[in-house]
Every structure is written in structure tokens, then in C-alpha cells.
Amino acid sequence: MRLTEANKAKIRDRIIAGAAELFRKHGYDAVNLDRIMQRSDLTRGAFYAHFRSKSYLFEQVIRHEHPLLRMLAARSGTSAQDLRAEMEAIFATYLAPEHLEEVFAGCTAAALTAETARAPEPARRAYEAAWAAIVEEMARGQIMADAGALRAALILATGAVMTARAMADPVLRQSALEGAAAGFVALLRQAFGDRGAKRTKLQ
């Protein structure tokens, strides 16, 4: 039976989502095409009907597969205060030591940054675009006082998760994440001119 364009798109999205999970958990080099297609319940032969290469699939993962962006986009607040409170709650969980493994496994921006830095330019451009989209979503509904501070807040949060994930000592992990949480709050205040949002404690 001939696939419709809608069905093709669904299959493509399924492959991207499955590959994203594997890349985040195991790394790009450790995952081959057979494993990716098995994860998607498809045969290896179906891969090239949707992607020209594994590196191109990686680029699509970097461009489209960002759970953090989806969570931020799903905020339902109708005021600047409510949107900011929801964002701070998201990052409170993101930077919580008890959620580190879950966050790292589910955050493309943290888990695949180092591998993207070694990837061809199209993947790095895709990373820039996705990263900018996350920052833009963080700013939704707010009056911006310092855009650089908002970008720095995201860098601090994702960088802290990367650093803490590499540490074996749980005390050092907790210290890194708690320090980042305090810095994140300070940078949000700078970014938004401290305009009286309902704040969620991130420490």
C-alpha cells in the first residue's frame, strides 16, 4: 500500500524521536542505523526513504527534538507573572539533583552539545536555531530588560546539567546544580528587570 505524505511524516518523526533518545543516552558514535531502526520498529531498508545519512538524521534530531522547548511552549499562563512562574517551575525541576539523570537523558541541549560541537556545520546551525527558539520561548510574554542575561541563564542551566552529569561525587553534583539554580534566578531578574513575577525557589 502506498504511504500518504502524512504517514511518511509520522514515520519520519518516529525515527527522529527514537534516534534522539538513543543519541542522548548512548552518544552518536555508539548508535548504529540498525539500532535506530529497531528502536522505531522499522527495517534498516526504510531508513534511506526518509534520511540520506546518519549525520543528516543527527542534524534533524538537533533541529527538532527538544523536550525542554516543548515543555516551555506548553505553558498555559495568560499573564507575564504566570508564564514566568511556570518557567521557573520547569527549571526548578531541570536543576534538581534528584532529577539529574532523567533531565540529562531527556535534554538534547545538554546531552548532545559536545557531540554537536564536533559535527558538520549544518548540525551546528540547527543547534543555534533550536537554542534561539528556546530562548525566545523563555521570553514569551515578558518585557525584556537584558536579552544577554536570558541567554546566559539558559547557558548556565544546560551547562550545569552537563557538568554535574560528569561528576562522580554526589556532593559536588549537588553543589554545581544548587549554584546554577541561584545564578539562574539572578539572571532572570536581570533579564526581565525584576518585574515582580511569582517566583519558584530553585535552590
Print burial letters for 159-186: b (CB count within 10 Å at least 16), e (below 16): bbbbebbeeeeeeebbebbbebbebbbe
Output 3 or 13, whichever has higher pLDDT.
Answer: 13
pLDDT at 6 (0 to 100)? 87
Q: Convert the pLDDT of each residue in 141-194 to its tens digit.
A: 999 999 999 999 999 999 999 999 999 999 999 999 999 999 999 999 999 998
Please state which CATH number belongs to domain 5-64.
1.10.10.60
Where, residue-wise, is CATH 1.10.357.10 in the chain?
Answer: 67-191
Three-class SS of 13-70: HHHHHHHHHHHHHHCCCCCCHHHHHHHCCCCHHHHHHCCCCHHHHHHHHHHHCCHHHH
pLDDT at 202 (0 to 100)? 46
> Is residue 37's pLDDT more than 50?
yes
Where, residue-wise, is CATH 1.10.10.60 in the chain?
Answer: 5-64
> Is residue 1's pLDDT more than 80?
no
DSSP state of 143: P
Q: Convert the pLDDT of each residue in 86-139 to its tens digit.
A: 999 999 999 999 999 888 888 999 999 999 999 999 999 999 999 999 999 999
**Residues with Cβ within 8 Å of residue 184, at least 6 apart in sequence:** 91, 95, 153, 156, 157, 202
The single residue listed with the C-alpha cell 553534583 is: 173
3 state SS of 192: coil
Q: What is the mean pLDDT of residues 14-19?
A: 96
pLDDT at 195 (0 to 100)? 57
Is domain 67-191 in CATH 1.10.357.10, yes or no?
A: yes
Are 104 and 110 contacting, i.e. CB atoms less than 8 angstroms apart? yes
Are 46 and 110 contacting, i.e. CB atoms less than 8 angstroms apart? no
The pTM assigned to this predicted structure is: 0.88
pLDDT at 197 (0 to 100)? 46
